[in-house]
Structure 1
Amino acid sequence: MKIFKNESVKIIMKVLVTGSSGMVGRNILDHNKAHDHNVLSPSSNELNLLLYENVIQYLNKHKPDIIIHCAGKVGGIQANLREPVKFLLDNLDMGRNLVWAAYQAGITRLINLGSSCMYPRNTQNPLREDDILKGELEPTNEGYAIAKVATAKLCDYIHKEYPTYSYKTMIPCNLYGKWDKFDPDASHLIPAVIRKVYIAKQLNESSVEIWGDGQARREFMYAADLADCIWHGVENFESLPFLMNVGLGYDFSINEYYEAAAKIIGFEGGFIHNLDKPVGMKQKLVDITKQTAWGWRPATTLSDGITRTFEHFLMREERK
C-alpha cells in the first residue's frame, strides 16, 4: 500500500520479524522505523520455527512482504560447549524451515541474520564475506556456526536457482545492548563483564577474574545500531548486497572491555587473568567494505553503549 505525505511516496510494508522477544528482535521493534510499517512479531506459540507445518501455515495466512529472520538459540562460550547438539539442531531447523517455507509461500524478500562465528578460526582479519567455508571453524561455537552457514547457503542457493527470490544475509559482528542476557550461563562477553564488575563493586572485592590473558580482540556493536542497519536494508532492499558484514571496522581487547566497564560502573579494583580458561578466537574483526560502499555506518560509541546497557542491567536488577 502507498500513502502520500509531504508530496513524497511512502511505502508501508508488512514486515515479519522472527525472534522478536530476543535482544536483536526487541531492538528492531524499538526502532522508530518500526512505526512506519505493519510489523508482525509473533511469539513462539504463534509461530514455532521448529515445526515446518506451523511455519508454512503462518506464512500462507499472513503473506508478509519481507521477512527479517533473527530468531535463534544464542549463548556464550559456556553455553555452546555445554549444549552443542541443541545449538546445531535448533538453529538449523529454524533457518531451514523458515527459508524454505518462505519460498514455498511465494515470499520473495528475506533478510537472514548470520553471525561472525561463520568464519574460519584462523582466517586473516578483517574477515571478508568470501572467506566463509575456507577453513576450520572455531570449536567453542562450531554447532551454532554450522547452522548459520547452512541457512545462509540455502538463501544463496534459492536465489541462484530462482532469481526472483532475493534472500539476503547480513553477518553482524558480536553484539550487546538493551535486552541482552546477563545470566552467566548464557551471556556473551559484554553483559557478562558488566555483571561481574558490578557484583565485584557491590561486594567491595579487590579484583575481577578475566578468562585468558585478555589480549584476544573482539568487535562488539551496540544492538540498536544493527537494528538501524536492518531497517535501512528493509527500505533500501534492492541495493543491499546479498551477503554483507555489519560491524564497526575496529575492535578492542578483552582487557579494554573490562577497563571500559569498570570506569562506567565505578569499580576501582584490579584484574586477575585465569590462563586455564578458554578464550576462543584471538581476533574476530569483520571487513566492512561492502557496508561502507552501501552507505551505512553505526553511530554508538563503546562508552555510550556500555552506559546504556548498564542502565538496562540496573533496571532488571531493581525488578527482581
Structure 2
Amino acid sequence: MFNKHSRIYIAGHTGLIGSAFDRVLSERGYTSLLKRTHSDLELTDSIEVDRFFEETKPEYVILTAGKVGGIHQNQATPATFIDTNLSIQLNVLKAAHRAGVERLVLFGSSCMYPRDCPQPMAETALLTGHPEPTSLAYAISKLAGVQLCHAYNKQYESKRFIPVIPNSAYGPNDNFDSGVGHVLSALMARMHHAKKDGLDKVVLWGTGSAKREFIHADDIAKAVLHLLVMPELNIDFPVNIGSGTDYEIRELAAAIAQTVGYKGALEWDTTKPDGAPRKLLDSGRLRDTGWAPDVEFKDGLADTYKWFLTNGLGREG
C-alpha cells in the first residue's frame, strides 16, 4: 500500500512536473524517494534501466521524464520526439513490469486528442480523429504510451499502470527558452526581457485566438497522489487532469504582461501557426473521485514569475 515509507521512483525529478512531485512528496513527509539525473541514468538505454530497477526495487514509479517542447521544436525535430519518448516508455514499463511495481503513472498529453475535438475533451474521444499536425510525432508517442499501459493491464489483469493526461502544465522549474519551451513559459521570458530592454512591442506567433487550459504542476502532482493513495482504482483509464478553465492566447499574453509589468504593445504574426484551435479537458472522471485543483491562475502566474526571477534565467537558451 502506498505510504510515506514506500520506495517511489520519480523519473524526471528535475523537470517541471517531476520537480513538483519531489516538492509535494517531500513536504508531506515521504522518506524513500528514488531520484536519478539524466547523467546518472539514461532512460533510453534499456540495459541501464533494467539495472536500476534490479538494484533499487521501486514499489511505485512516476514517469514524468520525456522529450517535450513547443510548436517550433516539434516541427523541427519530430524524429527526436517520437524516438526518445517511445524508448523511455518502453524501457521503463518493461522494467517496472518485471520488477513487480505496485503502480506506475505514465503521463500522456492533451496533444493526443483529435485536432477538431468536441470541447471539453473527454477521454472517450481519443483515437476518434487526427491530432494536430504540428505536434503529431509527440502525440503519437504519447498515445503509444497510453496504449502500452492498457495492454499491460489487460494482459496481466491488473490496474497497475495508470495513464494520466494533464493539460498544459506550468510552474517552477519550467523551461523558459522561447525556442523550445511551451507557450506560457516562453511568453513570460520574452516579456521579461522586453521590459528589461525597453522594447515598445513584442511580436507573437499566430492570431492569438487559439484557446488553452493551464494547470499548475503542483495541482498535477496532488491529483496523481490522490490516485495513488486510493485503495481500489474503480475508475476508467486514462484520466484527464485539468483546471476546468481555458484562455485565448491573447488573454494569456495580456495576463503575463501584467504579471511581468511589461507595458508595450503585443502584435500578432498571423503567418505563423496557432496549433489546435482549442484544448479544454473534461476532468469529470477525476473530479468524481473528490479531487479539485487548488492553485488560482493569477496566483500561479505570480508564483512562476517569482521562481523565474530567482532561478529561471539559467533555464533559457
TMscore range, shorter length: over 0.9
**Offset of 1:34 from its aligned partner?**
5.5
Question: What CA deviation, in whole Å up to 9, does each residue of 1:95-154 have, x standing for no partner?
Answer: 011112211222241111111111111111111111111111111111111111101101
Q: Could you say which residue in structure 1 is the equivalent of 2:8?
A: 15
Secondary structure of 1:35's counterpart equals coil
Q: Which residue identity is paired with 1:304?
A: D
User: TM-score, normalised to structure 2's length?
Assistant: 0.93
Secondary structure at the residue paired with 1:219?
strand
Deviation by residue 1:224-281 (Cα, 9 ceiling, x = unmatched): 1111212222222633733100001110110111111111111222211110011100
CA distance in 2, matches of 1:144, 1:269: 34
The answer to whether the 8 Å contact 2:173/2:312 transfers is: no
SS at match of 2:94: helix
Aligned counterpart in structure 1 of residue 281 of structure 2, from 283, 286, 307: 286
Q: CA distance change for structure 1 residues 240 and 273 in 2, over 3 Å: closer, same or farther?
A: farther
CA shift, 1:72, in A, is 0.2
Pick from 252, 259, 271 the counterpart of residue 257 of structure 1. Answer: 252
Q: Does 1:29 align with 2:22?
A: yes
- Contact between 1:103 and 1:165, CA under 8 Å: does it hold in 2? no
Post-superposition CA distance 1:188-209 (Å, at most 9, x none):
0111111121122122222221
The residue number in structure 2 matching 1:147 is: 141
Change (3 A) 1:105 1:318: closer
Aligned equivalent of 1:233, options 227, 231, 234: 227
Unaligned residue ranges in structure 1 (runs of 5+): 3-9
Distance 2:18 2:234 in 1: 20
Following superposition of structure 1 onto structure 2, how do residues 1-320 of structure 1 map, counting pairs within 5 Å? 12-31=5-24, 32=26, 35-164=29-158, 166-236=160-230, 238-239=232-233, 241=235, 242-316=237-311
Q: Counterparts of 1:34 and 1:25 in 2: how far apart (Å)? A: 15
Query: Tell me, what secondary structure is at the counterpart of 2:52?
Result: helix
SS at match of 1:110: strand
TM-score, structure 1 as length reference: 0.93
User: After the TM superposition, which of the residue ranges 44-53 and 276-285 deviates more from structure 2?
Assistant: 44-53
- Is the Cα contact below 8 Å between 1:108 and 1:164 reproduced in 2? no
Q: Say how many residue pairs are matched.
A: 313
Instruction: Return 5+ residue gaps in structure 2 as ranges.
Output: none
Farther off after superposition, 193-202 or 167-176: 193-202
